């Protein structure tokens, strides 16, 4: 419950499932503010082959920091390859700061590859989760790329605690 005039963040998960190419979803948000309900328009281009995106290619295109033993995996590196003919500034648009931090290159020069790093926070090292981060490029269309981040914990004698949100399969 929120007090009058207060605010909160709302996380909306768009699971691509079997979708391909351009998709549009309009989730409806109901409040006690009165009619009409609010809608949010989500437009996504789902790529069959993540190794053929434009103007950048992200490798790996999904980041997995799963832990299946006692050694803590708390960091993963990834690359952003600029396959266009212009230098592209990279700006982080959204991230799950409670779970991880993302270090992105400021610019990826035309035809070059730059490295980024995702580092788990203290909380992120202790739980299983499926989240993502999104960055935007300085190309003419302001292209945005969302990178999935997954962590599954299976250590001997330790019960993993899933985070609330994406991946709970209705356990709220």
User: How many angstroms separate the first and last alpha carbons of the chain?
Assistant: 16
Q: What is the mean pLDDT of residues 75-98?
A: 95
Q: What is the pLDDT of residues 147-161, one digit of tens each?
A: 999 999 876 655 555
Backbone phi, psi, residue 50, to 5°: -65, -15
Q: Is the pLDDT of residue 11 over 90?
A: no
Asked whether the beta carbons of 56 and 81 are under 8 A apart, the reply is: yes
Q: What is the pLDDT of residues 29-50, one digit of tens each?
A: 777 666 677 777 877 766 666 6
What is the structure's pLDDT at 113? 97
3-state secondary structure of 155: strand
Closest by alpha carbon to 76, among 60, 96, 94, 53?
A: 60
Closest by alpha carbon to 135, among 89, 91, 87, 75?
A: 91
What residue spans define the domains of the chain? Answer: 11-46, 49-151
Q: What share of the chain is helix, strand, coil (3-state, %, to 5)?
A: 0, 40, 55
Asked whether the beta carbons of 69 and 47 are under 8 A apart, the reply is: no
Q: Is the pLDDT of residue 24 over 60?
A: yes
Q: What is the mean pLDDT of residues 123-144?
A: 93
Per the prediction, the chain carries an average pLDDT of 81
What is the structure's pLDDT at 170? 38
Q: Is the pLDDT of residue 60 over 50?
A: yes
Q: What is the mean pLDDT of residues 9-32?
A: 70
What is the structure's pLDDT at 166? 47
Assign domain 49-151 one CATH number from 3.60.40.10, 2.60.40.10, 3.30.70.1170, 3.40.50.720: 2.60.40.10
- Portion of the chain with pLDDT greater than 70, in percent: 73
Q: Is the pLDDT of residue 92 over 70?
A: yes
- State the pLDDT confidence band at 101, using cuts at 50, 70 and 90: very high
Backbone phi, psi, residue 54, to 5°: -140, 140
Residue for token pair 């295109």: 61
What is the structure's pLDDT at 142? 92
What is the structure's pLDDT at 169? 40
Give the DSSP H or E segment for 88. Answer: strand 88-94
């Amino acid at each position: 419950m929120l007090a009058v005039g207060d605010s909160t963040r709302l996380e909306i998960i768009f699971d691509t499932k079997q979708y391909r190419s351009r998709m549009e979803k309009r989730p409806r948000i109901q409040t006690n503010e009165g009619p009409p309900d609010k809608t949010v328009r989500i437009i996504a281009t789902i790529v069959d082959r993540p190794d053929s995106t434009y103007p950048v290619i992200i490798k790996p295109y999904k980041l997995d920091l799963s832990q299946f033993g006692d050694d803590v995996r708390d960091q993963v590196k990834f690359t952003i390859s600029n396959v266009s003919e212009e230098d592209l500034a990279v700006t982080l648009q959204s991230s799950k700061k409670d779970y991880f931090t993302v270090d992105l290159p400021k610019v990826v020069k035309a035809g070059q590859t730059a490295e980024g790093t995702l580092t788990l926070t203290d909380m992120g090292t202790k739980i299983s989760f499926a989240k993502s981060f999104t960055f935007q490029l300085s190309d003419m269309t302001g292209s945005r790329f969302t990178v999935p981040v997954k962590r599954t914990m299976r250590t001997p004698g330790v019960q993993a605690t899933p985070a609330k949100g994406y991946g709970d399969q209705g356990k709220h």
